[in-house]
Amino acid sequence: MRRDAIKFGFLFPGLLYLMAMAVFPLIWSLTLSFHRWKAATAAPRVFVGFENFWNIFFRDPRFWNSLRFTALYVALVVSIELTLGLLLAYILSERIRFRNFFRVLFLLPMAAPPIAVAFMWRMLLNPDAGIIVKILNALGVNMVRWLTDARFTPFVLMAVDIWEWTPFMFLGLLAAMQSLPISLYDAAQVDGASRGQIFWFVTFPLLLPIMVTLVLLRAIDAFKLFELVFGITGGGPGTSTESLSYYIYTVGFQYFDLGYACALSWVFLCIVLIMANFLLQRLRKEI
Amino acid sequence: MKRRVWLWFGIFVFLLGSFLACAAAKTWESQPEEFKGQTITVLITDPHSAVVESWKPEWEALTGAKVEMVVVPYASLYDKMMTDFITGTGAYDLICWPSTWAGDVMGGGWVLSLDELMQEYGYPDWDDVVPAIKLIVSWGGKIYALPYDGDCHMLYYRKDALENPEYRAKFKEKYGYEYNIPPKSWEEILHVAEFFTGWDWDNDGETEYGIAFIAQRKTQAMWSYLDIAMQYAAQPGVAPFFDPDTMEPQVNNPGWVEAMDVIQKLTKFAPPGLLSYGYSELRQAFVSGNSAIALDWGDIGILEQSPEKYGSKVKGLLGYGPLPGAMKTYDFRAKQWIEGYNQVNFLNFGGWVFSISRFSKNPVPAYKFAAYFTSPERSLLDVCGVHGYTGANPWRFSHFKNVDKWIEGGWSKESVTKYLETIQTILSDPKAITDLRIPGAAEYYDYLDLYLAEVLSGTKAPKDACDAIYNEWVKITETHGKEKQKKLYRESLGLPTE
Amino acid sequence: MRHKRKVEAFFVVAWIVLGLFSVWTVFPFFWGAVTSFKSPGEQYSTAFLPFAQFQPSTYAWQVVLGQAEGERTRQGLWNSVLISSLSSLLVLFLGSFAGYALTRFRFRRWKNKDIASWILSNRMFPPIAVAIPFFLIMRTLKLLDTLPAVIMAHTVYNLPLATWLMIDFFRELPEEVEEAALIDGCSPVQAFFRIAFPLSLPGVIAVYILCFIFSWNEFLFVITLSYRKTMTMPVIIAGTLTVRGLDFWKVSALSLLAIAPPVILAALTSRFLIRGLTLGAIKE
């Protein structure tokens, strides 16, 4: 009994706080998602049943387009960030000179506000005066094409995301590598295993669980991609970089079509939940 | 008997006199200490915040009131304002907003009609306001906002390119005619832009291009398109967006499609980075001298004047003109092309205005504060450059007359005369066409912008894009209610609503 | 001998990677710093060597920190510091309690896993759908434009992350120590404060810094819940994109200011960050 009191005492402050703050928004948005409410024009709310959801799935190519872009985006940036993070963490867990310096250096981009990152990159990528554009043009890469061709622009946006969030992967993986038991390595070295073998057969399996956590956290945040689109491309050229979260923002905060925006938010939540569950069930056995 | 009449007459005169005395005290000009202890809150964005900031201390000292400013990023202004409205919070008294949102803000009934306040306290020289701006601040015959800024697109061109006799001769040789300066029609622009693309016509060692305009998604590229669409799909005084009798969107009629075709062709004569040109990129690129022609609001003219602040390399080299017309125009009522020259002035964006929130608890001080800094002499300082870049462009007849102040603001006499003449011509046109001013305008425009972006990037053909916009516009109209939209659309055009 | 050559090859590759990645990481910051010392007229030029190629100007810094906007910038920085540090502190306590509860105790009606998943799902909802209800809550509580409102919102935003990371830390800790303490007559609360919490301190610090950074960078809740007293740096930076366009010199100066505090914090504590974030990797 006493133990029960203690265990709920530990859990409840956080849980109740979250519930108190989250319940109202959830109910509010769920209710609205069954209504049509063009709030900006002072029009009344009209109950429309599942019409919003029907429209999302069957009448809204923009939703599918933005979902496709977002999914591709998440898949690519998360895997590249994971690979790069792994590489860097591996190098910097070796005894290498200026190790601590690099460790701090590589963390920096993550600490910058995304909105500032977006504006800074917008400056670097300015088609006429951007320094990166000029340098790459001098190297013979037609950078302007990358910025204005709908087929290539998504990759520019991904590059910025990779710049900003590789540190997150790097940090998590480096920390994990630091705590790997040294005895395993000694044993492997005694057995005459090569560097590649040790990494592949010893380090990698040990890192797998944390990689899942990192991928999960990063994927959730990458799915919410907003600032970079908002600050750099506005979703263009064409609709090539319109992310789901940016589309919801447009519907909610520019059209003030709040019913539809809430319905979209719930669909968004379900998609992320499915993704998260997939990662957790498949790759991480027990919490 | 007679004395009685005299007595009553005396009383009447006394009452009338005292009433007039009271009325005389009720003036738009703020009185010392009249709002002591009151606070008004202004929702505003940069750079307009700088204007209010500069008048604030003076007015506070005069009236004893306090002005609180809520400065938000431009991108958040709409949602900040609307969140306050739809939740009925009433945190702001005075709101500075762009009149292109009139459909939602005025049409939604979120702001006070100012007619009573204007009648009671008067307004600083209403006749001085140019007609187009009067149109912009009204809705259904009532005034809902105080004007503060006059906005319209104009044509900028490089005098050193277009006026060069050698180039003109070459052009004539190639195309068989001489172009006007500035070019008068989009057909001409297509040729001129083509002619000036891809070679170094100002001898600075860099390749230059024909035309530049705003083309990035979500930076309101649709204005660039509407500049063209107006000429092919509208006639002076006839707005082209919907058929006012049936509320049928006109956006896929041959006029609009033709304009879409023209803008797609123009992308070939533009700098390679065109598709990532938002406001800042366009203005920076043009004043650094990379193209012969540009479309913009009055802003390029102001940036042109200060090399030290905006890196302008074209000071004194720019010419200004009204929007080009077209050699044919589609009459949607008769469903046929009308051959012959057609030129329409269009009030893109419409300018920033100040309104009083419906939920405001202090409408009177808010009104008087806004009237204070939009009075003729004070507003002149904001538009002419004496106060630096404020984002406000001229909107009163008196602004156009006081050339001396403009020269004080850094202009050369020749430039400013031409610049003001151009803007004044556009704004004084009683048949100028205003924005789409119905509820949901943001949504209508965003879909226009969306499919325009696909045309510009070459992923959609002009006709397909126009059809796609048509479908979206029909959908939007339906969700808002077709009859309601029709009534409001007619109201916004000043047509009778049966 | 062969082994040794291979190791050297590894170091060569490693140094190349490090070099490339350093340039990639530093260049945007470097360019921001250069731009912030250019006069507005030169902001588009490619010159990058001060004195040799362009005359450094403190114009941007004068605008940002001087009379014109200095007060707003300083207040923004101060608000950012207050909001981030306090909300992260709150998150840390709530998160470590909850994390401890979910690792050391077994819940029956709702399984531990479900509770943890529910907590995490709070981070998945798009903030846009939450912004207006939060506005309504805070208005009802009369907290609009106050620090508590923003702190509360950021706590909701960061608590899921913190709880999840703390779950991993506590799973790392050998339970035996606490059990011994319990047998010695410690209460579970004491066991938590005297043993579990101090032992996972590096992790706690790491979580704190991560939450600090996320809170520092958050934009949408701040703009929704503030009028003027609680504006933070990201909002001020977003405000540089005006109808006139984007002033590079100003964005650069403001961004550097906004980046500095979390970067300094991260640099100072990087040892803890790395040591702390083991995230329960090894427990298999």
- Give the residue on A whose Cα is nearest the Cα of C278: A176
CA distance B210 to chain C (A): 21
Q: Residue B47 and residue C243: Cβ atoms within 8 Å?
A: yes
A23 CB near a chain C CB, below 8 Å?
no
Half-sphere exposure for C125 (CA within 13 Å, toward CB): 27
CA distance B109 to chain A (A): 8
Number of Cβ atoms within 10 Å of the Cβ of B165: 7
Residue C256 located in a structural domain: yes
CA distance C143 to chain B (A): 13
d(CA B89, CA A84): 49
Grouping H, G, I as helix, E, B as strand and the rest as coil, residue C125 is coil
Q: Residue type at C13?
A: V
- Give the residue on C whose Cα is nearest the Cα of A248: C128
Residue C1 located in a structural domain: no
Residue C159 located in a structural domain: yes
CA distance B150 to chain C (A): 14
Number of domains chain C contains? 1
Other chains touching C, judged by 3 or more CB pairs under 8 Å: A, B
Mean pLDDT taken over chain C: 84
Half-sphere exposure for A285 (CA within 13 Å, toward CB): 4
pLDDT at residue B498 tops 70: no
Give me C204's structure tokens: 């706690």
Q: Residue A181 and residue C282: Cβ atoms within 8 Å?
A: yes
Condensed to tens digits (0 to 9), the pLDDT of residues B219-241 reads 889 999 999 999 999 999 899 99
Span B466-488, mean pLDDT? 93
Residue C69 located in a structural domain: no
The pLDDT value recorded for residue B180 is 93
pLDDT at residue B24 tops 70: no
Question: Considering chain C, what percentage of its residues have pLDDT values greater than 70?
Answer: 93
- Of the pLDDT bands very low, low, confident and very high (cuts 50, 70, 90), residue B189 is very high
- Please name the residue that has the structure tokens 């500032």: A116
Q: Residue C98 and residue A121: Cβ atoms within 8 Å?
A: no
Condensed to tens digits (0 to 9), the pLDDT of residues A27-60 reads 999 999 999 988 888 788 899 999 999 999 999 9
Tell me if B111 sits within 8 A of B95, measured CB to CB. yes
For testing the chain A interface, which of B217, B222, B449 should be mutated: the one with the most A CBs within 10 Å?
A: B217
The pLDDT value recorded for residue B293 is 96
Please tell me which of the candidates B76, B89, B299 has its beta carbon nearest to residue C139: B89
- Of the pLDDT bands very low, low, confident and very high (cuts 50, 70, 90), residue B131 is confident
Please report residues of B whose CB lies closer than 8 A to that of A116.
Answer: none
pLDDT higher at A48 or B280: A48
For testing the chain B interface, which of C244, C249, C254 should be mutated: the one with the most B CBs within 10 Å?
A: C244
Please tell me which of the candidates A128, A133, A145 has its beta carbon nearest to residue B285: A128
Please report residues of B whose CB lies closer than 8 A to that of A256.
Answer: 79, 82, 86, 104, 442
- Give the residue on A whose Cα is nearest the Cα of B453: A238
A273 CB near a chain C CB, below 8 Å?
yes
d(CA C235, CA C145): 14
- Give the residue on A whose Cα is nearest the Cα of C26: A105
Condensed to tens digits (0 to 9), the pLDDT of residues A205-232 reads 888 877 888 898 899 999 999 989 998 8
Distance linking the first and last C-alpha atoms of chain C: 36
Please report residues of C whose CB lies closer than 8 A to that of A26.
Answer: 125
Q: Which domains does chain A have, with CATH numbers?
A: 60-256 (1.10.3720.10)
Q: Which domains does chain B have, with CATH numbers?
A: 39-151+349-427 (3.40.190.10), 154-344+433-493 (3.40.190.10)
CA distance B106 to chain A (A): 9
Q: Residue C244 and residue B72: Cβ atoms within 8 Å?
A: no
- Give the residue on A whose Cα is nearest the Cα of B286: A128
- Of the pLDDT bands very low, low, confident and very high (cuts 50, 70, 90), residue B245 is very high
B464 CB near a chain A CB, below 8 Å?
no
pLDDT at residue C273 tops 90: no
Residue C58 located in a structural domain: no
Number of Cβ atoms within 10 Å of the Cβ of B436: 23
What residues of chain A have any CB closer than 8 angstroms to a CB in chain B?
36, 38-43, 62, 125-129, 133, 144-145, 147-150, 230, 233-240, 250, 253-257
Give me A135's structure tokens: 């340098």
For testing the chain C interface, which of B41, B86, B308, B353 should be mutated: the one with the most C CBs within 10 Å?
A: B308
The pLDDT value recorded for residue A99 is 83
Q: Residue B47 and residue C42: Cβ atoms within 8 Å?
A: no
The pLDDT value recorded for residue C282 is 40
B390 CB near a chain C CB, below 8 Å?
no
Q: What is the CATH number of the domain that holds C217?
A: 1.10.3720.10
Please report residues of A whose CB lies closer than 8 A to that of B277.
Answer: 127
B418 CB near a chain A CB, below 8 Å?
no
pLDDT at residue C202 tops 80: no
- Give the residue on A whose Cα is nearest the Cα of C167: A287
Condensed to tens digits (0 to 9), the pLDDT of residues C112-161 reads 888 888 888 888 888 878 888 999 999 999 999 999 999 999 999 899 98
CA distance C65 to chain B (A): 16
pLDDT at residue B118 tops 60: yes
Give me A256's structure tokens: 């003030």
Please report residues of A whose CB lies closer than 8 A to that of B208.
Answer: none
- Of the pLDDT bands very low, low, confident and very high (cuts 50, 70, 90), residue C284 is very low
Please tell me which of the candidates B71, B299, B308 has its beta carbon nearest to residue C244: B299
Please report residues of B whose CB lies closer than 8 A to that of A250.
Answer: 446
Please report residues of B whose CB lies closer than 8 A to that of C72.
Answer: 71
Within 8 A by CB and 6+ apart from B175, the residues are: B191, B195
Question: Considering chain B, what percentage of its residues have pLDDT values greater than 70?
Answer: 95
Q: Residue A237 and residue B281: Cβ atoms within 8 Å?
A: no
A198 CB near a chain C CB, below 8 Å?
no
- Of the pLDDT bands very low, low, confident and very high (cuts 50, 70, 90), residue C281 is very low
* Pairing state between β B291-296 and B209-212: parallel
pLDDT higher at B228 or A9: B228
pLDDT at residue B2 tops 70: no
Q: Residue B273 and residue A237: Cβ atoms within 8 Å?
A: no
The pLDDT value recorded for residue B303 is 85
Q: In three state form, how does the secondary structure of A229-277 look?
A: HHHHHCCCCCCCCCCHHHHHHHHHHHCCEHHHHHHHHHHHHHHHHHHHH
pLDDT higher at B77 or C281: B77
d(CA A198, CA A190): 11
ipTM of the complex, rounded to two decimals: 0.87
Please tell me which of the candidates A39, A129, A235 has its beta carbon nearest to residue B284: A129
pLDDT at residue A283 tops 70: no
| DSSP assignments along chain A, one per residue | -HHHHHHHHHHHHHHHHHHHHHHHHHHHHHHHTTEE-BGGGTPPPEE-TTHHHHHHHHS-HHHHHHHHHHHHHHHHHHHHHHHHHHHHHHHHHS--TTHHHHHHHTTHHHHS-HHHHHHHHHHHT-TTT-HHHHHHHHTT--HHHHHH-TTTHHHHHHHHHHHHHHHHHHHHHHHHHHTS-HHHHHHHHHTT--HHHHIIIIIHHHHHHHHHHHHHHHHHHHHT--HHIIIIITT-STTTT--HHHHHHIIIIIS-BHHHHHHHHHHHHHHHHHHHHHHHHHH----
Task: For residue B182, say if its preceding peptide bond is cis, omega within 30 degrees of 0.
Answer: yes
Span C185-200, mean pLDDT? 83
Lowest mean pLDDT among B25-34, B287-296, B366-375: B25-34
The pLDDT value recorded for residue B326 is 96
pLDDT at residue B191 tops 70: yes
Please report residues of C whose CB lies closer than 8 A to that of B309.
Answer: 40-41
CA distance B414 to chain A (A): 30
Residue C44 located in a structural domain: no
pLDDT at residue C233 tops 80: yes
- Give the residue on C whose Cα is nearest the Cα of B83: C132
Please report residues of C whose CB lies closer than 8 A to that of B83.
Answer: 131-132, 135, 224
Tell me if A176 sits within 8 A of A203, measured CB to CB. no
Condensed to tens digits (0 to 9), the pLDDT of residues B421-461 reads 999 999 988 888 988 888 888 899 999 999 999 999 888 99
d(CA C281, CA B436): 59
E strand or H helix at B330, and its extent? strand B326-331
Which of C252, C256, B272, C219 is CA-nearest to residue A124?
C252
Domain housing C129: 78-276
Condensed to tens digits (0 to 9), the pLDDT of residues C237-270 reads 988 887 777 788 888 999 999 988 888 887 787 7
Q: Residue C156 and residue A126: Cβ atoms within 8 Å?
A: no
Please report residues of C whose CB lies closer than 8 A to that of A258.
Answer: 132
Residue C52 located in a structural domain: no
- Give the residue on B whose Cα is nearest the Cα of C137: B87
Residue C49 located in a structural domain: no
- Give the residue on B whose Cα is nearest the Cα of C220: B76
Q: Residue A236 and residue B216: Cβ atoms within 8 Å?
A: yes
Number of Cβ atoms within 10 Å of the Cβ of C268: 12
pLDDT at residue C278 tops 70: no
Give me B363's structure tokens: 């409408």
- Of the pLDDT bands very low, low, confident and very high (cuts 50, 70, 90), residue B80 is very high
Sign of CA dihedral A119, A120, A121, A127: positive
